[in-house]
Structure formats: structure tokens, C-alpha cells
Structure 1
């Protein structure tokens, strides 16, 4: 099967030159661009053929390619033809950078070569570039004529440039593949279940399917998924792996796994992508692209910089990227993205694939069977994907803008009026809510008037911002501007899986497009590659995650048992404690006694997880009052990276006194931390972790109920239980770890929960009276001591 190569992709890859300029980027939505294309195409003559498909088979360095694309319009004659290329943007045509116009013409010239190849009798083709300026609805047309020989010569120039990069890529692969084929598993032996997971991943790659895998802590998920995927690269089944996750710590684990294989001879290129706000050089922060030396002339310096980087490094981590970006005076964020095109493993956040507003266009504009996706900690993708496909716009920032504008005389009358009009629209939409004495409302369709006024506001803002200096007003305006653009772009996805939420609080009106079920969008993203493995230590029940993460009925499910002996973890449920919201205060004394009994059984470090921050403060204050001699540490509402490190550093090995840490269930310490050995010997969990009852989660419940799914389970129970599994997973991190999990809520003994417990939880013990807890804990620790 030939490798598909898009005309636009080829042009942009080979002919980009000059500056990297953000101001030249249009903020128009794809939907608006498509509408304009259709409107202009309808105005053409009857013999005008719109969206005209062209392709040309090529053999480049022994590989079969299919160069393809769609010209916006073609008019055919016997010996002549016309090709029209339509571009839309919001700036003046005369203000477009020369390098961008060059790319426009290059694209239509390549279409001409493909059309000449398709029709041998053609002698000349007229190339027409139609530029539609959306900010004032004006059209600029330019034309030139090209003959067969000139089109062929231009085509060859582009192909020769592309072949130069193909040679570099092929040389890298020729160096890479023998090292993969010789690579063996980088440990002396597999852990229990590890080989089975690796085999399941490899078979999934061969069958081009989607696998949902639950592999408990200790399985070694990272190496068990990366190793077989890299072996598949060596066999030519795939060519690139995207290892995507939600947390920086997990990305470092992936880096470490590749480094480990590198010490055993593996030679491949990997890169870890870093968010723009973290990797951008500090001196770039307040510069416009026209002032930024790292952006001016960017593309003129890019190619030698990439060669320098690739020839001297295999693992392109953030420090490596920053070093070479400074050396060649390149913006580090864009440099890493360009470097990723030459890498075999790309490590990064979920949003690079799944977020419709920031996903990597260079990789995911079309499907590519050379790409394979490894989605780590996939349970996090449920909530993250809803956020990605939701967007909100609020009135309060508009009030702030109007206040700032009174002290900003440079603000145009038109812009000030657009801000007022948009603010008034919020009041108009909210009027029925106010008259009914309500604070929130839900409806099916987005109000058309807000879309109209947002469009007018975006247009006026874009026109006014050109050449404006940085002031408090412009900074606040940009925040609203980008929020408005985000809202409109998400609006392009709005369908029956969405609901509109209108809320009023303290005078602030918020209009939110809430995505209840992004599974179809996730499925579309997963289908952009050869296949995918979505895995986590907590992915129960698997059929739920297959449903909400776009797995479909043909996806695979696989569950591994824990590699650690179940008897190393004591699991106790206090059937005498109720922690529903109404019963919490009445049961506070029982919870305090249960925690005290837990920590009295053995000196060591403990973590107690609470369902809300307010309740955490209540329990901590009561515990410290009742037991002042026990050392405690509590999670704070906001914590810096240094604060988090200081919190965890208190959990020292071989403690001589007891430490009790209090943390939020589902928070920063309930997953992604690794307190091995006796740095943690006990975990207490208060409540089943249900999210607080709220209108948005109720909408998710009602949506799934209406689609014959268990709505309460999908919206409340299963997300809460996953938080419980994750928190409990902090305890047993290695083969020699031993400890106790205490579940403080009688609901944990209900069948709707016990039927979801993983195999290594099946030995749980119910305790019906507080007097049973102490002896049960002593028996567990005495048994462990004797073992």
C-alpha cells in the first residue's frame, strides 16, 4: 500500500522560509472557511468542477508514494485549463508574509503538474489564487500561466528537496532497525503478567485494533508496552509511537525506559514534548513575533539546526531541545515540534492527539497507518476529554474590559461598541433566568445571538489589535478574544452529545457548551493511527472504559492480575461507618477512632484520603484535638511543586514514630506518587469517592440513562471508585511492600461495589463493630511478621 503524501504537506515541509510569525495566523474557524469556499464555488461557471481530486504515484528511494490533494476548483478545456486555489484569512492580502504567499502559489503549481500528468493534451494552465478577507468580505484575485515544462521543473525542485530529507530519514532507520531487531527484554526476567501484557500489545499492533488493558501496579506497564511497540517498528509494521499521558512524572518513566533500552544497544530517536508556557525562553515572554529573535528568520535556520540536533542526540529531552534552540536561535517550542517529525517515539500529553484545538496538525491532519498510540493512565482521559470538547464564555471579563477601556483612549469606538453589544447579549439571554428567580438553566441548542455577537467581537478585536502595544487593556482583551475563539471552535462539534448550561452567580453570567459524551470524537482520534493500547492500573470495569473512551464493540479488553501476593495487603471495610453527606458529622467520632486504631497497630507512615477539602480540614482539626501527640501533615488547598515535594519528603523510610498524612481523594497525592517500602504502610479512605451532586454531573447521568446505559454508575459511582482504586494503589509498589488499606464506608460492602473489585481485592474483610478493627489489624501484622 503506497504512503500517502498530501500536496499541502509536501509544500509546507520543503519550502517554508523566513519568519515564524504568530500574527499572520488566521483565527477563522474551519467551519467558516468551508462556508466561504462553498459560497465562492457556487458563483463559478457551470463547467467549474469543485474539490477536484488529483493524485500521482511516485517511487522515492525505493518506497511507493501517492501524492494527492484536492484543488478547490478546476475548469478543463481541450488544451488549456484553470486551477483555482481559495484561501481565507482575516488580514489584508498585501500584509501577508511573502513566505506564506509563496506556499500558496507552490501548492497550486503542484496541482498543475498533477493535472498535466492526468491530461497529456493540456499545454498551458492558468493558476488563480483567490484570497478572501473575512474581516471586510473583500476578495483579491491574482493569476499566472504555467506550461507543462515549467510545472514539471517546479515539481522536480520540490521533490529533490523532499528526497534530501527522505535520505536522512532512511539513514536513521537503517541505523535504527538492526538495533531493534537485536534488542532483548532489558531485564533478566519478566515479572508475573509482564510477558503476557507485552504479547497482547504486540498482537494488537499486528491486528490493527484497540486494546483496553488493566495492569495493576507493579506489572511494569511502561516497558511492557514500549518494548513490543518498538519491536514492531523493527519489523516494519509501524514507524512511529506516540506515548501519551496526563502527567509529567509518567513521561519521565517512559524516558527512563527508552534510556534503559539504549544502554543495551537500542538506537532510535525519541522526543518529549513540553508545553509552550514551560519551554519558551523567559526573554520571549513579552516580545511580539516581529520583535522576537528566536522567531525572525526561524525557517532559514531550521534545517541546519535539525541536522545538528539529530546527528548528535538520540533522546531529545527538554534540556537537549533548549540547548540546540539557543545554539541556533530558534523558538524552542516550535523547534521541538519540527524535530518530532524525525523521531520514532513521541512522548507527550493527551492533548497532542485528542484536543481539537491544539492537536498536532503535522501528524494528525489525516490518518497515518505508520503511527501507533500508547495511552498511559487512560482512566484520566475520561474527564480530560470532556474538558477538551467543552468551552465556556462569561460576562464578567467583559465588565472588566469596559472598565479598563475608560482609561484607554486608544480603544476604537467600534471595538468598545462590540464589547457593549456582546455584554448586552449576555443580559438578554439571561433575562428569562432572572425573571424566574433561577440561577442556572439547561437547554439543547446554542443561542444563535451569542454566536453572532462573538463573531463581530472577534472581527473588531482582530482589526484593532494590529500594532497595539502591551497594556493592561490589551492583555485583558486577548484573554476574552481567545476564549471567544475557543467557544466558536468547540461550537463546530456541537451535536446531540452536548448541552448548553447558563449560570448566574454574583452577577457573572456563564454560557457553557458542555460535552457529555466525547467517545465518538476520541474514536475518530484513535482511528488516525494503526491502532492503540489504552492502559492503566485501574481500568475497571473494562466495558465502561471501552464505552466512554471510544473503544467500540470491536475493541479488545485485557486484565492482568496483580504481580504481588494478595496477602501482602490487608483490606478491611468498616461496615459500621456511614460517610454519606448527611451522616458525616454524626460518624466523625467513629472515623477518628478508626484512624487512631489503624495507626496504633504498627508504627509507620500512613495516608488518609478524604472526599472534599472542607471535610479534610474538619477531620484534621478534630484528629489533632483528640490525639495531639500523633504527628500529622495535611495537603493544602494550593501547593507549589516545592510544597508537594516537602509533603512527600516527610514520609521517610524506617520511621521510628508514626506520621499520619491527610490528602484529598482524587487529588495530587492520590495517584502518581511512589512511596516504596516502608515509606507508606497504611492507607485509609473515607467515603466511596462519589463526586459531589451537581447539575453538570446530573446531565451526564441523564444522558447515559437515555442511551440505555447505567447513568448513575457512569456519572458518579465509577469515577469515584476509580479514585478509590488509585488512592489504594499508593500502598503496594514493590514485591516486598506490605501494608493495610482501610475503607471507611459501609457502602463498600454493597454488591454494586464488591462486584467491581479487582482479583487482588477479593480477600477483603468486613468489620461490623469498631472493637473488631484492632484485633484484625494485629492479626494481619502478626501474620506478616511470622511470614
Structure 2
């Protein structure tokens, strides 16, 4: 397999020098930038060819490397050749740093070199840098005419400088592939379903496909996906693997899987990316870049730091990054991104691939078949994606900022006040339109263009204003509001038929939301940036729903594994006598309390009870305490830090002498991702079918899918709610030795609409028609479990 190196990657790595100057926040998205490129390209002459793929192969240290990229435009005429590089940003051209211009010209020089390689009859080429300033659409053009000898020398020096790193990558890859060839599966035997899943993942990679997998708890999803992907990497089917997930705990599981394989001889570079605000050193906070010792001279220290890291470490976790960042005085976040270019496995959050505002440009500026994606707990991506492609802005913060910006303060800010008041007037005009029609809310499929125009101007002003400020409460307030406005403008560029604009007047303040109802096309586009993907979760039913909403409807495979645990290890009990609809809740409080009591008195142990809201949780918990004051309970709180969460879970001890009942919220922090094995948890009760609360935005999603496929209620309410139910129930059986009861407290669970969504290992569910029957069924389950245990 020939290693491919992107031209931008090569140029940036070799030519960057000096300070780490964080790029000013641009209002430009990749989509908006592409539109500008197409607009400029279409205005060129007939001889102009857009997006020209250029490449060359260089041989060093016995290895071949393909250096390639797409030139924005090439024009070949009888008078000679011209090659154009288009750049878009918010900054004025004359404000660009020397280093930025060096990188821009470096790219176009490489394209010029490659073009002359393809045309030996030419001796020179005109290089044109076209710079488009987005805010005012000002176009700056600069041209340089370079001869073949000059470009040959430039390219030779560039590649020579990169040779050490190319050789390092090649040596690392050889070592990696040799270790993979002998790598055994890191357990004595495959669990049921594990071998089949691993085979399906390997075939998916080999065929460059997209696979959706439902693999119930206990399958060992992480190692069953990582192991075959690593094996495929050893055969040069892929070059880099991204393991994407929503939660830090799941990232740790992936780290542990890599570490497990390393103990069996795997030599591979893996890195875990941590969010900027979490990994930056405390002393970097509220410090200007020009005063930050980890940023000043960053690029002058980067290469020694990378060499040190890569020659001494394989599993590059957050503590490792921090250790080497301190040693070499480099910013830990940027250092982790630069180190990731040399890693085989990148473990990171969903947003590094999918978020249009923060995705990894160094990897995902264009499609690369060397990349492959493993996406864990993918049911979480449905709501996350809607959030990533939606944005909200309000006029509410403006008043507080204006007070901070009064001229009698230490830093006069008349211009800032003027800019803020213009934004407020734009909101006021929209508010008056609502009041004139005697409404407090309006929904439209059109982007809020008048507001977007105002915010673009405001963002341009604030970008320059912030660059002149010293740290202060005013700067903090302006920065926070600026980021809201910036995000709003960027999302406004993405509008298509899946968007609605919702404006809501609440008292004197107006809030405008750009709501993405269906991000599936955006997710599909992101997934196409690699050779393929495996999207997996313990709960992914019905599969057709997830394929539709996650962008895989037309071009993906589906695979559902059975549970590896005996289905009869758990009782699934559906109470036919309990109704939890809002209208019936008050009349059913006592039935729910008595049902929970029947569950927890069936056997001493630890139990979790899940509710659709904190209000409902409090109501039933308080009623239980009144009826049975000796019951020991603990409850999830609305805000819990890591220590509080762990303290909650630590109460669920093994071999408890007394019964403990934990009250939690469906879809919350304890409804997935926790592992209470054995008798640390022996029963789960779920109150209601978990429907999201009725609200205008979910109703818009319902109406959208009603129009799309006639399944609006299912897509907006029922299926997301049922996923929360299945996730909560999945906390119970975590190993083949676990036994327990899932009590479903809502008669709707027995309807065909819900039974059809039950996973295969729920096939022995039982309906219960009265409290006495429930008590008897619970007692019988534990009696049979004890008998089975005695026989063993």
C-alpha cells in the first residue's frame, strides 16, 4: 500500500513556524466556503478547469509516497499555464500573518510544481492566490510567475525537510503491521455473537461499506469492532481508524481495548483527543496568546516535542499529552491535534467528524479512503446531530453587556454600544412583526436573512474589537454573545428543506432558533469522508429508523445480534393495570407505589426506578416514603458532577444486607453507560413508555416526518422514548451470571405498537393484570432462580 500525503498537510507541517496564533473565528463554514469557490470558479473563462487532481510519487528510504491534492483551478492556454488557489476568510488580506501567507503560497507552489511535472513542455507557470474576504466580499488577487527550476528546488527542500517524518511514519507502519500479523484475539474464546460481529466488521471494511449493528449488552462491542479493524489495518485496507463516541466513559473503554491488545504484542499509535476547554492548562486561561508561554514559539518547539512523544509512547492518552506538553512548553490541545497526524487510532467525540463548526479540518477537509469510522453508542447521535446543526440567538444578553460597556467604565466602548444597539434593533423589528399579527411565535422554513445580515456585520466588528481588548468582565460577556451569534450565522448557511426558523417572543425578549429537523444528509456527507463506517449500539431497533435518521438509508447494511445471555435470566413484566398518561397519573400513583413495593420486597437487593421527568420522580418517591417510610432510597439530582455521580453508584454495593431503591430519569446519566454487575442491581422498574414531553419543536419534527413518510409520531416521540426505555432496562443483565426483573409500569407496553419494538431477548415477557399477580410472579421468578442456582 502506497502512503498518501495531502499537500496541505505537507506544507503546513513543514512551513509553520513561530507562535501559535489561534485563527480568528470565521463566519465561514466548509459548505459556505465551497459555495464561494464554485461561484468564483464558474466566473472564469472556458479554458479554466476546476478541482484538478494533481499528484506525484516520491521514493525515500525504499518506500513510495503519493503526494496529492486538488488545485482549485488550472488554466492552460497557448500563452502558458495558470494555477489558482482560492482562500476564504473574514480577515482583511493585509491583516493576515506572514506565516499564514507563507502557507497559502506554499500550497500553490506545490500545485505549480505538480502541474509542470505533468506538462514537460512548459518551463514556467503563473501562480495566482485569490483571497475572498467573506464579510464584505472583497476579492484580492496576487500573482507570481515561477520557473521550473525554482519550483523543483522548493519541492525538493520541502520533501527533504519532511523526509524524517515520512521515514518515521513508514517505520512505524512496518512495525505496526508486523505486530498485527501475529496478533491473537485478546481473550481465550469468543463470546456468543462476538466472532460473527468481528467478521461482519472486517467484511464491511473490505467492501468499503457502511454497517449498522445492534449488539446487545454483553456482546463485547468495543473489542469486537476494534480487533477486526486493526486486523484490516495490518493488511493495508485502511490507514487510520477513528473511534467516535459521545461519552468520556466510552472513550476509556476504547483505550482499555487498545491497551489489552498491546499486551498481546500490538504495536500501534493511538491517541485520545480531549476538548480544548478541558485539557488546556489552568495557567493558560484568560491569557492572551501573545502572553501565553505555551503558544509563543509553539511551532519552533513542536517538532522536537513530537519526536520525543512518538519515539517513547504508543498509547497517547490525556495524561501522556499533558506530560509531554509541559516538558516541551507547548499547548496541550494543539499538540494533541498535531500528534494525531501520526497516529493509527484516534479516539474522540462525535463532533470531531460531524460538527460543522469544530470538525477536524486536517483530516476531513476532503474525502480520504484511508480513513474508517467506528461509531459507538450511535443512538446518541440522533439528538446530538440535531443540536450540532441547529443554533439559537436571543436579544436578552444585550442589556447586560450594554451596562458593562458604558463610556464611564475604564475602557470606553461607544463603538461597541453602537454595534450592539443595531443588533437589538434588528430583534425589535422582528418582535414588532409578531405583535402586529397578535402572536408570540412564528415558524417559517426560510432562513432569518435580515437578522443574519445584521449579525454578520456585528461579528465582523466584534472580531476586530476583541483583538484589541485585555481580559475583563466586558470581554468575557461580549465573547460569549459573539460565539452565539457566530454559530447562528454559520448554521444559517446550511439551510435546506430540513430546516425551520422558530421565533418566540417571551415578554420583552425575542429568541430565534434555526432548527434542523433532519440532519441525515449532513451525517451522510460526513460519513462519506472515509472509506466506510460501522455504527453500533446495544439498542438500535427498529433498524430502518436509525438508518433513515443517521444518513444510511440508501447505502448501508444492517446486522442484529441476539443477546449472549440466557433470556430467562430476566423476567420482563408488563403491568396492565397501570396508566401513566398525564391525564391518568394522579389516579395511578398508589398503584405505581404498590407495584414498586412488590418488586423491592420480592428479594433484598438493589433496584433502580426510572421516570420520564424529575417532577414525576419526586411525586412517586415522596409517595413511596409516606407509604413505606423505612424504605432506603437515593435519587438522581438535576446537577451532579463526576464525584456526585460516582458517590451515587457506590451505594449499590455487592451482597447488600438491606434493600436500596435508586430513583433516576430516563435518558439521563444513569440510564446508560453504567455497569452494576452481579447483585449490585437485581431489578429495574420503568414508569411510562418514555415519550418526550410534548413541545413545539418536537411537534415540528413530528410534522416533518409525517410529510416525509407518514411516521411523524413514531420518529419524533415513540421511538426516541422507547430507546430510553431499552437503555434503562439494559442496566440490569450485564453478565451470564446476572438475574433480575424488568418491571414495565404502563399498560401501553403490551400494545402491538410497543411489543413489536421489543428486542428478541424480551420474547418471554409476561403481562400482569393485578398487584397480587405481580407479587406472585415476582416470587415465582426468584424461587426458580434459586432452584437453578442450587442445581448448578
> Under TM normalisation by the shorter chain, which class is it?
over 0.9
Query: What SS does the aligned partner of 1:53 have?
Result: strand
Q: Which residue of 2 aligns with 1:683?
A: 684
Q: Which residue of 2 aligns with 1:548?
A: 549
1:531 and 2:532 are equivalent in the alignment: yes
1:487 and 2:488 are equivalent in the alignment: yes
Q: Structure 2: 5+ residue runs without aligned partners?
A: none
For 1:41 and 1:354, how far apart are their aligned partners in 2? 27
Q: Which residue of 1 aligns with 2:469?
A: 468
Q: How many residues align?
A: 785
1:252-651 → structure 2 map (5 Å cutoff): 252-406=252-406, 408=409, 410-651=411-652
1:145-224 → structure 2 map (5 Å cutoff): 145-224=145-224
Mean CA deviation greater in 339-348 or 86-95: 86-95
Shift of 1:138: 5.7
For 1:416 and 1:209, how far apart are their aligned partners in 2? 54
Mean CA deviation greater in 160-169 or 299-308: 160-169
Query: What SS does the aligned partner of 1:187 have?
Result: coil
For 2:594 and 2:424, how far apart are their aligned partners in 1? 54
Q: Which residue of 1 aligns with 2:8?
A: 8
For 1:412 and 1:77, how far apart are their aligned partners in 2? 57
Mean CA deviation greater in 152-161 or 139-148: 139-148
For 1:316 and 1:51, how far apart are their aligned partners in 2? 40
TM-score by length of 2: 0.95
TM-score by length of 1: 0.96
1:735-774 → structure 2 map (5 Å cutoff): 735-774=736-775
Mean CA deviation greater in 472-481 or 771-780: 472-481
Shift of 1:434: 2.5
For 1:93 and 1:413, how far apart are their aligned partners in 2? 27
Mean CA deviation greater in 675-684 or 482-491: 482-491
Quick one: structure 1 residues 608 and 531, their matched pair in 2 at CA, closer, same or farther if it must change by over 3 Å? same
Query: What SS does the aligned partner of 1:186 have?
Result: coil
Query: What SS does the aligned partner of 1:442 have?
Result: strand
Answer yes or no: is the 8 Å Cα contact 2:74–2:81 preserved in 1: no
For 1:41 and 1:192, how far apart are their aligned partners in 2? 56
Query: What SS does the aligned partner of 1:780 have?
Result: helix
Query: What SS does the aligned partner of 1:633 have?
Result: strand
Answer yes or no: is the 8 Å Cα contact 1:54–1:115 preserved in 2: no
Deviations 1:498-545 (A, max 9, x none): 111111224331111111111111111111111111111111111111
1:116 and 2:116 are equivalent in the alignment: yes
Quick one: structure 1 residues 55 and 399, their matched pair in 2 at CA, closer, same or farther if it must change by over 3 Å? same
Query: What SS does the aligned partner of 1:602 have?
Result: coil
1:664 and 2:652 are equivalent in the alignment: no
Shift of 1:85: 3.9
Query: What SS does the aligned partner of 2:594 have?
Result: helix
For 2:67 and 2:95, how far apart are their aligned partners in 1? 35
Answer yes or no: is the 8 Å Cα contact 2:351–2:358 preserved in 1: yes
Shift of 1:554: 3.3
Deviations 1:655-683 (A, max 9, x none): 11111110111111110111111111110
Query: What SS does the aligned partner of 1:593 have?
Result: helix
Deviations 1:156-185 (A, max 9, x none): 111223332221111001111111110111
For 2:11 and 2:239, how far apart are their aligned partners in 1? 22
Answer yes or no: is the 8 Å Cα contact 1:321–1:335 preserved in 2: yes
Mean CA deviation greater in 591-600 or 100-109: 100-109
For 2:725 and 2:525, how far apart are their aligned partners in 1? 30
Deviations 1:115-162 (A, max 9, x none): 323333433334444545556666655544322111111011112233
Shift of 1:784: 0.4
Deviations 1:288-335 (A, max 9, x none): 111111111111111111111011111000000000000111100011
1:56 and 2:55 are equivalent in the alignment: yes
Shift of 1:690: 0.2
Q: Which residue of 2 aligns with 1:107?
A: 107
Quick one: structure 1 residues 247 and 459, their matched pair in 2 at CA, closer, same or farther if it must change by over 3 Å? same
For 1:661 and 1:746, how far apart are their aligned partners in 2? 23
Answer yes or no: is the 8 Å Cα contact 2:27–2:489 preserved in 1: no
For 1:39 and 1:189, how far apart are their aligned partners in 2? 58
Mean CA deviation greater in 516-525 or 67-76: 67-76
Deviations 1:714-747 (A, max 9, x none): 1100000000000001111111111111000000
Shift of 1:372: 1.1
Quick one: structure 1 residues 135 and 203, their matched pair in 2 at CA, closer, same or farther if it must change by over 3 Å? closer
Q: Structure 1: 5+ residue runs without aligned partners?
A: none
Q: Which residue of 1 aligns with 2:721?
A: 720
Query: What SS does the aligned partner of 1:500 have?
Result: strand
For 1:299 and 1:504, how far apart are their aligned partners in 2? 49
For 2:35 and 2:739, how far apart are their aligned partners in 1? 63
Shift of 1:108: 2.3
Quick one: structure 1 residues 25 and 149, their matched pair in 2 at CA, closer, same or farther if it must change by over 3 Å? farther
For 2:39 and 2:242, how far apart are their aligned partners in 1? 39
Mean CA deviation greater in 111-120 or 34-43: 34-43
For 1:52 and 1:170, how far apart are their aligned partners in 2? 29
Answer yes or no: is the 8 Å Cα contact 1:192–1:219 preserved in 2: yes
Quick one: structure 1 residues 214 and 88, their matched pair in 2 at CA, closer, same or farther if it must change by over 3 Å? closer
RMSD: 2.1
